[in-house]
Amino acid sequence: MSRTHRIHLALAAAIAAVVTGCATQPRPLQGDFAQISPRQAVERDATGTLVRWGGRIVEVEPQPNRTCFHMISTRLDAYGRPYWASDDVGGRFVACRTGFYDPAVFEKNREVTFTGRVDGYENRRIGQYDYRLPRVEAEVVYLWPVRERVDVVTRPAPWPWWGWW
């Protein structure tokens, strides 16, 4: 094999590794899902629809055979993580999954993404407001790591001509 062929093979392997490493979502969150928000699911009956929804935990409710998560929804970024660019929320929803999920780990305001099917609706009272929430029978419960806040401090260049080119 010539040197040129080895270089081309190495380049192809490097490109394949980079492309493989650029998968957008974690494997459990990948798939084809309906582009519908919890608010839209309430407006039209979306029972049976496969969804990927995420947001912040409002409350975790362990039950005898499953755990239900009361969530405030927002859009998801390219990785499937809840995206909090503004106060633009997509409503609320409840996601339930078989098994015990510890409320000490799944704390209030933690970010979670779920995949599953809308299997009905629940009526809840939030303050003095009657709220109809879509309920998801979750197949995946994906708890995201806590985001670390970093303060970026910028300093002016010591000489004014730096950065002019």
Q: DSSP characters for 115-142? A: EEEEEEEEEEEETTEEEEEEEEEEEEEE
pLDDT digits (tens, 9 = 90+) for 65-74: 999 999 999 9
Q: Is 3 helix (H, G, I), strand (E, B) or coil?
A: helix
The answer to whether 114 and 140 are in contact (CB under 8 A) is yes
Instruction: Tell me the CA distances in angstroms from 70 to 66, 126, 130, one per residue in order.
Output: 13, 12, 15
Q: Is 42 helix (H, G, I), strand (E, B) or coil?
A: helix
The Cα 86–Cα 84 span in angstroms is 6
Residue 160 lies in a domain: no
The pLDDT value recorded for residue 89 is 79
What is the extent of the structural domain holding 94?
25-143
The Cα 61–Cα 24 span in angstroms is 31
**Sign of the Cα pseudo-torsion (129, 127, 125, 141, in order):** positive
pLDDT digits (tens, 9 = 90+) for 136-155: 999 999 999 998 776 677 76
pTM: 0.75
SS percent in the chain: helix, strand, coil, step 5: 15, 40, 45
- The CATH code of the domain that includes 121 is 2.40.50.140
The pLDDT value recorded for residue 50 is 97
Residue 154 lies in a domain: no
How long a stretch of residues is the chain?
A: 165
pLDDT digits (tens, 9 = 90+) for 4-62: 544 444 444 444 444 444 547 789 999 999 999 999 999 998 999 999 999 999 999 99
The pLDDT value recorded for residue 8 is 44
Report the number of distinct structural domains present in the chain: 1
Residue 156 lies in a domain: no
